[in-house]
Structure 1
Amino acid sequence: MKKIIFILALAIVGISNLHAQDANNPWLIGIGVNAVDTYPTNVGDSNFPGQSWWTDEYFNATDHWNMVPYPSSLTVSRYLGGNFSFGIFGSYNKISKVGDASTYLGKQIDDFSYIGADGFFKYSFAKAINSESFEPFLKIGGGYSWIDKIGAGTINGGAGFNWWFTKKKNVALNVQSTYKHAFEDYLIPHFQHNVGIAYKFGSKDTDKDGIKDHEDACPEVAGLPEFNGCPDSDNDGVQDSEDECPEVAGLKEFNGCPDSDGDGVADKDDRCPDAAGPKALNGCPDTDGDGVADIDDKCPNEKGTAANNGCPEVVEDNTQELIDALAKTIFFDFDSAKLTPDNQITLNKIADLIESTDKTYNLTIEGYADNIGPKSYNQKLSEKRAQAVADYLTSTGVAPANVSTVGFGEDKPLADNKTKEGRAENRRSEIKIKLISK
């Protein structure tokens, strides 16, 4: 008996996470060994001599417990909800000790058979103590017990615990003790103790994908184990919830979308999905390298300008006037010195015009800002805007020696800074061009 107490103490001290019988695992089946003890039942009369107080020698297994050396109990129960379960408990035993008495109902005690069939309601305290492995419980119910084929109905009350000790928390050590009070005087009241193994099962799998609902991230839709039960409809290794093209197999680097021409631009973003092209042109090729995609280029085999739909510009005598007009259309987003695609088109026009003439120009790039924010910050921002334009022009072939920059900050506004529209016009760069040779 000391060994049993020691094992139970270790079980309680060693508890960590807890898991009780619940909606995810509604069924429980258990098998164990039971012990029947008639001694501490608070009775003692001519029919049942040898009984004592409730707690007197409660753990005296050697003198008062009746046990058989093999599995002798079976439990089946189902979770009802609200921490309640209902179950049945069947047991078999041999009675050779009825307290300190030598006879029972006038018969010499000689390995009387014991059979018990009980129903019970169990209330679990696992959630109350916030645990997943240790589950204390109370139980109440009733049943029928026979000793030496003499039976009577009983009302039962008991307590115990399950210790769910496996990784999946579905196998437990079950320990419980139940008091059975008989409705008839000829059946002795008694305690029945039980130690065994319990197994819970029956988890739901709503979508029938082999992954139980409580472990399934997509319990209503059949999926794959590698995606925690979520589907991958196109089998491209990207689950549907993260796949931007769930119906078409694609690549992980493109969030599940395909790249048919292998140009690094996903088909959904590629203007030319069947012909490789640079990202800057949305995946379309530029055969003549003039910055105009072939599908927009009216002269795809001859380098031209964006302003002339990819065809070479015809230099006219009014080149200076045209450049001056184009130079006033460089606008920036709020708090940004980044050139927009429209800015680049304008600057390409200017660069092409300069390249197409034999004349030499000095370009002064002026940067401006609106009045939102500190003046010193706006001054630096205007300088960055001027430099961004200068860097782009020199990258297209304009001689760096002929380009200079200056920032005016929030000074010299083009429009009223009190309005949203006015501030947008003041976030700009202007290009001043001076002819220095013909």
Structure 2
Amino acid sequence: MKIINKSDLKSLRRSVDQGTEEQRKSVQDIIAQVKTRGDEAVKEYTERFDQASLETFKVSKEEFEQAYASLDGAFVQILQEAADNIRAFHEKQKTTSWFDSSEDGTLLGQKITPIDAAGVYVPGGTAAYPSSVFMNVIPAQVAGVERVVMVTPPGKDGKVPDGVLLAAQILGVEDVFKVGGAQAIAALAYGTETIPSVDKITGPGNVFVALAKREVFGDVDIDMIAGPSEIAILADETARAEEIAADLLSQAEHDARSSSVLVTTSERLAKAVEKEVQSQLDSLPRADIARKSVEDYGMIALCETWAEAVDTINEIAPEHLEIVSEDPFQELGKIKHAGAIFLGPYSSEPVGDYFAGPNHVLPTNGTARFSSPLNVDDFVKKSSVISYSRQALETNVDKIARFARLEGLEAHARAVETRKERWK
């Protein structure tokens, strides 16, 4: 990692990966084929990209049972406890419809309605992500979504990782399909003979998944176009270098484009962390990925004052922020932009990834300036409710008509004025 000054932080801002022209064209062709040919196209793309030949996409009851039997009871219990923690947190996010009446008989309000169906994309490839199942499915269920459809790429053997199936089983998700890539997003957006369409698609994926989500947006809703993972740590001289280094590397091992940043006023800590990161890299199984990430996007910003350090964090607007200081709660109110905030030396970022309860689907690449973690509100709609009484309309009809005519909309004005006939 390199020690920099604040002005060098601009190199952290990366444009969201738009893909190449060839990739965009490929995704558009895949979507068009799935819309036209349905399961037949999905099957062909699954054979081509995943090297898996499948007779049916839907995970069978027997596959769920085999996954459960293959995992030891202790792991099952860990997943169940994590799911319970995540559900308990999201239950507190629920909002209710409200109505407000006035003496003149006016009733105004807001009606909360869950979307009918949500689609969840769970990445596959060389790793299994049961945590992605929990973080995307649970807020949808808490919101009251009646149908959750999950897609995930199969391995070459045509199977889905046991941990992913167990997570789906714990949540009661039965509609799980062995499909990945742009073809999975297209199937969720438009439906096929066997894969039902949904109203919103959430979940991370590779560049082809991101491009497909961008293409179908408007026909369905999506959560976000996520960039590489990020962590920023705001630390003072009380922090331990070995812990800070380990937390920085926890994000660096995700992706070669992940960013890991320490912001501190302590030169001693900065130098110790720089040394410790290099030492810990040598023993990491994903050392090649983490080392590339650290070399290209790993930085230590050494600030002259604590106020400057806090300003630097707000400028970065990180996906994950750890505050490791003498009194981290005192700093919380100063933070304006961050996806998730971890306070104190025992709140390591993976605590939030897997177990604590808050959602780990977070805004990246500075978008925490204007967006929020995936939450229950993402799976509901809010409808305005207006009921005017005769008294209310009599009082306001001329004002409304005049306002309409000010905008040049005569039919609007006449629409309210025609009600005057009722009280002649």
Band the TM-score falls in, shorter-chain normalisation? under 0.3
- Larger C-alpha radius of gyration, 1 or 2? 1
Higher-helix-fraction structure:
2
TM-score (norm 1): 0.18
TM-score (norm 2): 0.19
